[in-house]
Amino acid sequence: MSSYQLFYWPGIQGRGEFVRLVLEDAGVAYDDVGRQPGGQRRILAVLEGEVAPFVFAPPVLTAGDIVIAQTAAITRFLGERHGLAPANEPGRLAAATIALTIADFVDEVHDTHHPISVAEVYDKQREPAAQRARAFRDSRLPKLVGYLERILAANDGDWLVGSAASYPDLAAFQIVEGLRYAFPHAFAKQQCGKLLALRDRVAARPRLAAYLASDRRLPFNEHGIFRRYPELDPA
């Protein structure tokens, strides 16, 4: 058993991928529990409070007797433990703020295809999804892309915080990849040269490059957060 155990649904990237990217870039061993034999049962046990009563849903990370849920909390914990976070307190808090904002944006992406209920399939909420996706493309997408672009410009460097890569940079990479998959037409219209350059720097990091080229990196599909429904992203 590795030092870390990640509990997340098998077969999708979802929110668990933000955690995987930090673990992979840090070069630390971890068990991706959901993808192991009996993993589905263990994930369901998490929902029933078996790991900790305060856990609501995956992703969940355990490290010995430490249990953490919520994507931004997990990535902050790992980043600060493994050299993927600023060393000073203002920088650490700035990184946490950016990661939490990205987490909020991930929820907005999800709601483009499930605007009414997560319990109902997409086909039963197509009309409100079309309305939500239109608002997302016209307003929310430019706002978030502009937010990240502005931070990069203000930092006057290669990264979102400080002079070295940190966990929010990896989260920004995943956002770009997900948007390119789910909203390729809308994303192509964004003016975000600095964000795209950040994406390329992250992808070129040796451990991440190896991970992205491996079968450990699950492909995007229509079961996760970033889903490609052409009618929600017209050309």
Backbone angles phi, psi at 192, to 5 degrees: -150, 55
pLDDT of residue 47: 87
Query: pLDDT digit string (tens) for 106-126?
Result: 999 999 999 999 999 999 999
Query: pLDDT digit string (tens) for 48-101?
Result: 988 899 999 999 999 999 999 999 999 999 999 999 999 999 999 999 999 999
Separation of alpha carbons 95 and 227, rounded Å = 27
pLDDT of residue 54: 93
Fold of 89-204: Glutathione S-transferase Yfyf (Class Pi); Chain A, domain 2 (1.20.1050)
C-beta of residue 88 within 8 angstroms of C-beta of residue 164:
no
Length of the chain in terms of residues written: 235
What are the distances in angstroms from CA 123 to CA 5, 114, 132, 146, 227?
35, 9, 14, 32, 13
pTM for this entry = 0.96
The least confident of 17-21, 54-58, 163-167 is 54-58
Above 80 in pLDDT, residue 1?
A: no
Above 90 in pLDDT, residue 156?
A: no
**Side-by-side strand order, sheet with 30-32:** 30-32, 4-7, 60-63, 66-69
